[in-house]
Amino acid sequence: MTEVKYKEYSEEEDRIYKEAMTNLMGSIRNGMSVEDAFALVKIEDEELKAFIRDDAIKIIIAERYFLQGVDLQQISERLGVPMPQIIQAVREMLEDVGYSSAEYFRLTHGDGALGNA
């Protein structure tokens, strides 16, 4: 399993996150690489900056790979993001889906055993 980090944002961080994501996603959708688009975003908090970058990559993967069926190698090349980083992002996304599904099951069915055996 990968080590997925979650962050709770303050009001100010949430404002910065939303503004940065709007700008980043617009630039990426208009043809910029992730790094070029990210260079335009000025964020002092390095941890917040890393979360925003990771989320932007995951959003593009979700849109292009899971919704449109674009090959991961093409996404890697188009975004200018190394393939191992793309694979890591997909693993984290799938792990998050599994965690969320298990949590939803627990909330709706109690703490009973999970499994399909």
What tokens were used for 15?
A: 């404002």
Phi, psi dihedral angles at 58 (to 5 degrees): -65, -35
d(Cα 92, Cα 4) in Å, to the nearest integer? 6
Q: Provide the pLDDT for residue 96.
A: 86
Number of residues that this document lists for the chain: 117
> What DSSP designation does 111 have?
S
pTM over 0.75: yes
Mean pLDDT by 10 residues, the chain (117 residues): 65 93 92 91 90 93 94 95 96 88 80 59
Q: How far is CA 112 from the centre of its chain?
A: 30
Helix axes 83-109, 72-79, angle to 10 degrees: 120
Q: Provide the pLDDT for residue 75.
A: 96
d(Cα 69, Cα 88) in Å, to the nearest integer? 18
What tokens were used for 92?
A: 């984290």
